[in-house]
């Protein structure tokens, strides 16, 4: 669902189906089936988050050896306790990279594409305050695809994030498509659950983990052949090799943040996702513009992969980032009770951001 800024596959097509309408219809279908599979409980079960957040949160039974199971049965005071082995929360995220939609192979190497494919998936776990553990990578590509180069980029991102690639699939295809799925968990016993989009409350402060607009500005410079200077190379790097803010997400969760999302579709679109899920409005008082980007690239560019964090305790968040020697988060506004279009310095922001059309 992250924002591609290299193409517009649905532009001009009549009766196009919007990405988010398609997701809602699929969600209704899958949840209807799940209700048959969970006849005695709610769907999703309490504590789970399925379709609609950066990553799905599911509760699964901890694997036990026979000895552990016996021990548990002996220890359990009642039969009911024995019948309910310990559970843990797992986080699941998946993302697609499609040649011509998300990446332009004239402007980045296959190495970059592989790197980005894993990183953008892992970014969705960062947005939940989770850490990636394992990934599956499926690649469909045309004849002549250089899997060594693609693999080098995937491996570099896997090494940087600590995410181990344990499987996947390969297929021939007219264009390059990479699907990456990641499995992760919440580290540390802090008592704080995953950071959901829906956790923000009126009065919460909003902060971002870094200035925005770099990826869109980098793409603009690459397209115009002006990415030669050192400053421009930084922006081109933001487009080619984004960084998942894993540590920032984890620290935010452990510092009691209330909600988070990664900036993939553009600031306006992503604050909209968080606002709708939380049932709040958003009032921004500043735009975190990276050097060299335009205001529009900040608002609608997307693919920055910085985290937008809501918290009731901004000082605690800033202190926790400082203690971990992370770049200070940038305050950009507050959540308000009045629901409606997000505002900047009191003026409504025009809607925008990427939406796939089908």
Residues near Mg ion (CB under 5 A) are 54, 124, 262, 264
Nearer to Mg ion, 215 or 264 (CB): 264
Structural Rg of the chain based on CA atoms: 21
Give the C-alpha separation, 279 to 273, whole Å.
10
Nearer to Mg ion, 99 or 124 (CB): 124
- How many Cβ atoms are within 10 Å of 329's Cβ, its own excluded? 29
Nearer to Mg ion, 104 or 124 (CB): 124
Give the C-alpha separation, 138 to 340, whole Å.
40
Compute the least distance from the CB of residue 54 to Mg ion, in Å.
4
Compute the least distance from the CB of residue 214 to Mg ion, in Å.
17
Compute the least distance from the CB of residue 234 to Mg ion, in Å.
23
For residue 157 the two structure tokens come to 């991102």
- Which residues, in sequence order, are CB contacts of 311 under 8 Å at separation 6+? 204, 205, 207, 252, 255, 256, 257, 258, 317
Compute the least distance from the CB of residue 329 to Mg ion, in Å.
18
Nearer to Mg ion, 292 or 302 (CB): 302
Nearer to Mg ion, 266 or 288 (CB): 266
Q: Could you write out the DSSP letters of every residue in 188-234?
A: S--S-----GGG--TT-EEEESS-B-HHHHHHHHHHTT---SHHHHH
> Which DSSP helix (H) or strand (E) runs through 235?
helix 230-240
Residue nearest to Mg ion (CB): 54
How many residues belong to the chain?
358
Nearer to Mg ion, 4 or 292 (CB): 4
Compute the least distance from the CB of residue 176 to Mg ion, in Å.
22
Give Cα 65 to chain centroid, integer Å.
34
| Closest among 82, 151, 93 to 121, alpha carbons compared | 93
């Amino acid at each position: 669902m992250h924002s591609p800024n290299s193409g517009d596959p649905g532009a001009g097509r009549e009766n196009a189906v919007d990405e988010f309408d398609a997701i809602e219809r699929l969600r209704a279908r899958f949840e209807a089936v799940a209700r048959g599979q969970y006849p005695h409980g709610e769907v999703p079960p309490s504590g789970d988050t399925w379709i609609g957040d950066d990553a799905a949160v599911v509760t699964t039974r901890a694997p036990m050896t026979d000895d552990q199971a016996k021990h548990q049965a002996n220890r359990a005071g009642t039969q009911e306790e024995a019948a309910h082995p310990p559970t843990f929360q797992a986080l699941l995220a998946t993302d697609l990279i499609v040649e011509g939609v998300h990446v332009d192979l004239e402007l980045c190497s296959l190495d970059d594409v592989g790197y980005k494919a894993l990183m953008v998936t892992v970014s969705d776990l960062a947005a939940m305050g989770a850490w990636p553990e394992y990934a599956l990578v499926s690649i469909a590509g045309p004849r002549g695809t250089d899997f060594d180069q693609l693999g080098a980029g995937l491996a570099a991102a896997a090494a940087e994030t600590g995410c181990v690639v344990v499987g996947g699939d390969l297929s021939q295809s007219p264009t390059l498509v990479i699907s990456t799925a990641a499995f992760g968990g919440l580290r540390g016993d802090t008592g704080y659950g995953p950071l959901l989009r829906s956790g923000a409350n009126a009065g919460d402060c909003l902060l971002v983990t870094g200035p925005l607009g770099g990826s869109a500005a980098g793409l603009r410079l690459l397209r115009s052949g002006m990415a030669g200077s050192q400053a421009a190379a930084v922006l081109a790097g933001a487009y080619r090799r984004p960084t998942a803010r894993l540590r920032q997400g984890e620290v935010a969760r452990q510092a009691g943040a209330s909600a988070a999302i990664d900036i993939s579709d553009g600031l306006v679109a992503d604050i909209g996702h968080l606002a709708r899920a939380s049932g709040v409005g958003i009032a921004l008082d500043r735009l975190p513009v990276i050097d060299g980007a335009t205001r529009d690239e900040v608002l609608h560019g997307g693919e920055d992969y910085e985290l937008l964090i809501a918290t009731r305790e901004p000082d605690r968040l800033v202190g926790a980032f400082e203690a971990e020697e992370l770049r200070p988060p940038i305050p950009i506004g507050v959540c308000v009770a009045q629901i409606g279009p997000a505002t900047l310095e009191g003026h409504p922001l025009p809607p925008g951001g990427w939406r796939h059309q089908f």
